[in-house]
Amino acid sequence: MLLTIDVGNTNITLGVYEGEKLSGTFRMTTKQQRTSDEYGFTICEILEHGKIRPKQIKDVIIASVVPDIMHSLTNGIIKYLELKPLVVSAGIKTGIRIVTENPKEIGPDRIVDAVAGYELYGGPVIVVDYGTATTYDLIGPNGTFEAGITAPGIETSARSLWGGTAMLPAIEIKKPKGILAKETISSMQAGLVYGTIGETEYIIRKIKEASGYENAKVVATGGLGRIIAQETDSIDVYNPELTLQGLRMIYFKNRRHRE
């Protein structure tokens, strides 16, 4: 079994693959400070709760946008799973060629999403990831990472609303009954959800116009992406496991070097 780990700014998502089959997904928070023992023990405990014995894991691959936790996380995996993880970084084989001005600025998570988007749906493809930030990445017809746009994520925008405004409460992020809100909570929900739908449609339209890829497929992922994907025809496919699938693909592209 292969353990894939996506370290985001808010959550760490773990996926266990048996061949091409995803056997289980699990989440833990990123923000909490943990020692290598805590990481190793927690991961083993999560796997066992999912009826997966840690000894069944034969290799691990990680993509992380949080460098500060990587020392503890990798050492915890080495100590408790007795495996040295493959980390998505410069020099790893991905099958994607980055043609932006500074390729090193492209985050590992975006590269992984680009790999999965291109491998699964072909190119040109626009991958939209609704995470802590909302990212829009364009992969050309020959597998080139051509451009990326970064916007505040839905939850990030929501937290800035209630965190920076004394009279606005923390709310559940969901689509309200209608856009003509008549009280505070639904007015915030309307602004967040409809605002993101509008942003999505406009940015996708402008990407297609500027690139000339009018028929580019649009693939969305990320926890809150489902809410947006259900409400707009600009998104063709919603794939919640896109990042984990990309990690599995990258692992197999590099497996020969691991053996």
Which listed residue (6, 59, 109, 137) is catalytic?
A: 109
Answer yes or no: 233 catalytic.
no
Where do the H-state alpha helices sit in 27-105?
A: 36-49, 70-81
Which amino acid is present at 155? E
d(CA 43, CA 77): 8
Handedness of CA 168, 171, 177, 178 (dihedral sign): positive
Q: Are 127 and 145 in contact (CB under 8 A)?
A: no
Please state, in angstroms and as integers, the Cα–Cα distance from residue 219 to each residue in 38, 43, 101, 114, 233, following that order.
35, 30, 24, 10, 11
**Maximum CA extent, the chain:** 62
d(CA 160, CA 238): 27
Q: Active-site residues: which are they?
A: 109
